[in-house]
Structure 1
Amino acid sequence: MANEEGKVVVLTGASRGIGLAIAHMLLSSPSSHKLVVMSRTHEALDQLHYQYPSQVEVLAGDLSNASLKLNEKAVELALSRWGRLDALIVNHGTLQPVKRIANVDLAEWEAGFGANVGSAVALIQAAIPPLRKSNGRILLTSSGAAVSGYVGWGCYGAGKAVLNHLALTLTAEEPDITTISIRPGVVDTEMQREIREVHAEAMSEKDREKFAGLKRDGGLLKAEQPGGVIARLAVQGDVGGLKGKFLSWNDEGLAEWQEE
């Protein structure tokens, strides 16, 4: 990564997988970026704080629980600690409920949307004022499920499609902020393990074989591949031409932000 000026970033879903890869990429940069890292449990993030004590603040809790006001606390923490906010990376989410539309309880969809959409909107709302000041960036981790149908994935895919449209809306409403939605591909993460081992029976035979085969045949991406692209997009280069777009991590239009 180029020696860009150190930035202040709020990162959700930072305890594992793509989020953890993003965190390490930013924290190990020569620019010594500063992060407020978020996940459900504090313990999962402690190692990052121990490894980069002057660069990391930890905030733990369930983002979908509005009463905790984690959205406001995250932004306040960045501002009180480092005086600015340059980027927000929305990387958290849940696959639940994995059920066919005919069988799902509406309350399960409401919970899924609360986790994947409502909490993202709340965090973005809190971040908008300081991001306006810094001409900052919002990166949304999306999914191919936003534009493809999978048996049992209706809630997850619809939620990711909402995030894609949110990038378009924010581009229209907040011209001083660059919002981009990124499809990270099929990555070797805990969510993929759950797809194969926990949710397989709720999926179609075709989809079960697809995901099992990717693992079996070494077709899964390493978290560092899309994670590196998302990290660089948050802090590096001129991203003005990418405003509002939904792009795959390996899109040729992102060559500048891919592996150097």
Structure 2
Amino acid sequence: MVTVVLVTGVSRGIGSAIVDLIFKYEADAVVLGVARSESALQDLKTRFGKKFEYLAADVTDSQRTKRFVEEMVAKHGSLDGIIANAGVLDPVQDVNGLNSEDWKRLFDVNFFSVVSLVSTTIPFLKKSHLGNIVFVSSGASVKPYYAWGAYGSSKAALNHFAQTINAEEPAVNVISVAPGVVDTSMQDDIRNTFGPRSMTPEALKRFADLKAHGQLLKPQVPAAVYALLVLKGIPHQLKGKYVRYNDDALKDYQISP
């Protein structure tokens, strides 16, 4: 039976690595990718052919996402798992310069698009022999990072949503996993744009030092955890929980940094 997985934010970074690794671990899988960049999606389509289907759209476009999911389930016969990876960091602003409209826009991407995606996919996931839901969270969901209030709050909401799904629907499996500090374009933005503009020198220094000392993770490291969770299943003791990618309970899902 072919495993069908939907992944958001697949155009670069962790999302792109997740697609690569799903096919590495299960060559016959079908991946449904969602991202805004059609050129990046076409590149993935060229590499993986009919095993990769895509929607070029913003994840907040719930109607287009719903139609895409329904069309793909009709075509492939099932939907077995989702990985909600798409997310944004901006606005980066401290409490003395808050703009609630900026926060709302971030929450639309980081949280409400995921609520909508779960609403659309859960009827299909309940019918699957797998039914796995994997959220890409953040360490910022459980501790404050200077000027990251919007981002951290949205990821904390995602963690709680995982608890809610676990408590209310036993026919699916869900987990929220932080990826660590990964060498992606978001880190570039932190060091070169958001940090100098909105963060204190002390808060920015941590991220600059990680890059300077070669301590940022390759995207494939957390991506392997996400890919294997959606393919192999979520450990019973971690259902509904928030954990880091390198948690000891996930050792069977990890690759070396």
Scaled to the shorter chain, the TM-score interval is over 0.9
What is the TM-score normalised by the length of structure 2?
0.95
Structure 2 residue 85 is the aligned partner of structure 1 residue 91: yes
User: Does the alignment pair 1:21 with 2:17?
Assistant: yes
Aligned position for 2:228: 232
Alignment of 1:101-112 (within 5 A): 101-112=95-106
Q: Deviations over 1:34-58 (max 9, x none)?
A: 0110101211111111111120101
For residues 100-149 of structure 1, the C-alpha deviation after alignment (integer angstroms, 9 at most, x for no partner) is 12212111111111111111100110000000111401000000000111
Q: Which one of the candidate residues 157, 179, 198 is aligned to 2:174?
A: 179
Residue in 2 that maps onto 1:200: 195
Which position in structure 2 is the counterpart of 1:214? 210
Query: Which letter maps to 1:120?
Result: V
Contact persistence 2:5–2:81 (CA under 8 A): yes
* CA distance in 2 between partners of 1:238 and 1:142 (Å): 16
Distance (whole Å) between structure 2 residues aligned to residue 165 and residue 77 of structure 1: 30
Q: Which residue of 2 aligns with 1:138?
A: 133
Give the corresponding residue for 1:58: 54
Q: Give the whole-Å Cα distance in 2 for the aligned partners of 1:149 and 1:238.
A: 28
Unpaired segments ≥5 residues, structure 1:
none
Partner of residue 247, structure 1: 243
- In structure 2, the partner of 1:47 is 43
Match of 1:157 in 2: 152
How many equivalent pairs are there?
A: 254
Partner SS for 2:25: coil
How do 1:106-121 and structure 2 match up within 5 A?
Answer: 106-121=100-115
Q: What is the distance in 1 between the residues matched to 2:233 and 2:115?
A: 26
The TM-score with structure 1 as length reference comes to 0.94
**Runs of 4+ with >4 A deviation:** none
- Tell me if the contact between 1:143 and 1:183 (Cα under 8 Å) persists in the aligned partners: yes
CA distance in 2, matches of 1:84, 1:42: 25
Q: Report the secondary structure of 1:145's partner residue.
A: helix
Q: Which residue type is aligned with residue 87 of structure 1?
A: G
- Check whether the contact 2:183–2:217 (CA below 8 A) recurs between aligned residues: yes
Identity over aligned residues, as a percent?
Answer: 39
Asked if structure 1 preserves the Cα contact closer than 8 Å seen for 2:132 and 2:234, the reply is: no
The CA deviation at 1:31 is 3.8
Q: Residue 238 of structure 1: CA displacement? A: 5.7
Partner amino acid for 1:200? G
1-side partners of 2:233 and 2:118: how far apart?
22
> 2:25 & 2:48 partners in 1: Cα distance?
11
Larger mean CA deviation between 232-241 and 142-151 belongs to: 232-241
2: CA distance, partners of 1:241 / 1:176:
16
Secondary structure class of the residue paired with 2:135: strand
| Contact 2:94 2:147 (C-alpha < 8 Å) held by counterparts | yes
**Range with bigger deviation, 26-35 or 147-156:** 26-35
Q: Counterpart of 2:91 in structure 1: which amino acid?
A: P
Tell me the alpha carbon deviations over residues 170-205 of structure 1, each in whole angstroms, 9 at most, x when there is no partner: 001110100100010000000000000010120122
Does residue 1:127 correspond to 2:121, yes or no?
yes
Q: 1:33 to 1:205 in 2, by over 3 A?
A: same
The structural deviation recorded for 1:247 is: 0.9
The answer (yes or no) to whether the contact 1:8–1:78 under 8 Å persists in 2 is no
Q: 1:189 aligns with which of 181, 184, 187?
A: 184
Letter in 2 for 1:213: D
Supply the RMSD in Å over aligned alpha carbons: 1.4
Which stretch has the larger CA shift, 235-244 or 162-171?
235-244
